[in-house]
């Protein structure tokens, strides 16, 4: 579904990503793990069109999306649930969700999608008129995920959803990600919470210093000495 080939990108003269290749097949949850500064967010910004690539290509559903603007990429069916939620704090919960349905095709169905999203997140329904700024971190993450679903995406890129959340809430977030997959949404999950991420994912890529240093199914990754030492503290 998504195929990144030999992607290099960076800011000005500073190159961050070096020949990154990765593939996400339909129906999969693919994990992208790596520490701070590994280049995870740069990779996401390049895929979603916020940052131009220096070389390499990104294909979505077999078509190149290089050089497309972010709103075009969103219209194609890639939804981005950003790091730090980035919800619209001065808007109500409902307006935030409506914004999620901004792409043309999603806008037509927004009433139905809204109903489905409210079923998944009953708490959002209870507070639909409340300003998003009054939400707790966990609730904001739920809102960001609800907003991401409103565009009826084929692929959801979820950037560090567990960041700054209490362990109980993290479990809830990971359950939601699994139920998203059951609804037929393909997921690229970027995380630092390695153990839980590998437990719910099918395959994983490990990004270090802007390069993919390991890839494979999650069981192999979990068993690897490198992962145990560097990420799990074992």
Partner 1 sequence: MNLSNISWRKLGLNAGVPLVILIALIFVPFYGSWADYGITLFSLFLVYIILAVAWAMFTGSTGYLSLATAAFYGIGFYAAALLYPAEGALVPLFVVVLVGAAVSFVLAFIVGAITLRLKGIYFAMFTLGLVLLMYQVVNYWLISVLGIRGIVVALESNEVIYYYLVGILVVSILVAYFIKRSKWGLALRSIGDNEEAAAHTGVNVTMIKILVFAISAALMGAVGVIVATKTTYVDANTAFNPMISFSPALMAIFGGMGNLYGPAIGATIFTYIQEILQTGSLKNYYMLIFGLILIATILYLPSGMMGLIQNLWNRIKGARRRALTRG
Q: Is 91 a residue that touches partner 1 (CB under 8 A)?
A: yes
Q: How far is the CB of 222 from partner 1 (least distance, A)?
A: 31
Q: Is 90 a residue that touches partner 1 (CB under 8 A)?
A: yes
Q: Is 128 a residue that touches partner 1 (CB under 8 A)?
A: no
Residue 24 tokens read as 């996400």
Residue 193 tokens read as 């919470």
Q: Is 69 a residue that touches partner 1 (CB under 8 A)?
A: yes
The DSSP output letter for 132 is: G
Distance CA 183, CA 164 (A): 27
Q: What are phi and psi of 115, to 5 degrees?
A: -60, -45
Residue 40 tokens read as 């995870």
Q: How far is the CB of 89 from partner 1 (least distance, A)?
A: 6
Q: How far is the CB of 45 from partner 1 (least distance, A)?
A: 9
Nearer to partner 1, 82 or 161 (CB): 82
Nearer to partner 1, 93 or 206 (CB): 93
Q: Is 75 a residue that touches partner 1 (CB under 8 A)?
A: yes
Encoded one letter per residue, x for contact with partner 1 by CB under 8 A and - for no contact, window 150-169 reads: -x------------------
Strand, coil or helix: what is 50?
coil
β-strand pairing of 203-208 with 55-60: unpaired
Closest CA to 115 of 149, 71, 85: 149
Strand ranges (DSSP E) for the chain?
2-11, 14-24, 29-33, 55-60, 63-64, 78-81, 155-159, 186-191, 203-208, 211-217
Q: How far apart are the first and last CA of the chain?
A: 35
Q: How far is the CB of 96 from partner 1 (least distance, A)?
A: 9
Distance CA 24, CA 158 (A): 13
Q: How far is the CB of 25 from partner 1 (least distance, A)?
A: 23
Q: How far is the CB of 109 from partner 1 (least distance, A)?
A: 12
Distance CA 19, CA 40 (A): 13
Q: Is 74 a residue that touches partner 1 (CB under 8 A)?
A: yes
Q: Is 140 a residue that touches partner 1 (CB under 8 A)?
A: no
Encoded one letter per residue, x for contact with partner 1 by CB under 8 A and - for no contact, window 103-122 reads: x--xx---------------
Is residue 197 within 8 A of residue 230, CB to CB? The reply is no
Contact footprint for partner 1 (CB under 8 A):
48, 50, 69-71, 74-75, 80, 82, 86-91, 95, 98-100, 102-103, 106-107, 147, 151
């Amino acid at each position: 579904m998504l195929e990144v080939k030999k992607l290099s990108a960076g800011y000005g003269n500073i190159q961050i990503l070096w020949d990154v290749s990765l593939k996400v097949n339909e129906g999969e949850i693919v994990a992208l793990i790596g520490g701070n500064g590994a280049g995870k967010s740069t990779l996401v910004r390049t895929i979603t069109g916020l940052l131009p690539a220096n070389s390499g290509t990104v294909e979505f559903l077999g078509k190149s999306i290089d050089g497309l603007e972010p709103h075009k990429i969103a219209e194609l069916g890639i939804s981005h649930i950003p790091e730090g939620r980035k919800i619209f704090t001065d808007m109500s919960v409902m307006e935030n969700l409506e914004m999620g349905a901004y792409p043309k095709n999603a806008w037509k169905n927004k009433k139905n999608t809204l109903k489905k999203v409210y079923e998944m997140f009953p708490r959002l329904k209870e507070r639909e008129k409340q300003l998003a700024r009054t939400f707790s971190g966990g609730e904001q993450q739920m809102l960001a995920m609800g907003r991401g679903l409103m565009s009826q995406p084929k692929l959801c890129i979820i950037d560090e959803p567990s960041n700054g959340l209490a362990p109980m809430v993290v479990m809830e977030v990971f359950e939601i990600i699994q139920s998203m997959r059951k609804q037929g949404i393909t997921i690229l999950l970027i995380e630092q919470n390695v153990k839980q991420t590998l437990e719910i994912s099918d395959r994983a890529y490990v990004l270090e210093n802007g390069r993919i240093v390991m890839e494979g199914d999650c069981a192999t990754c979990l068993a690897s000495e490198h992962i145990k030492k560097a990420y799990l503290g074992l």
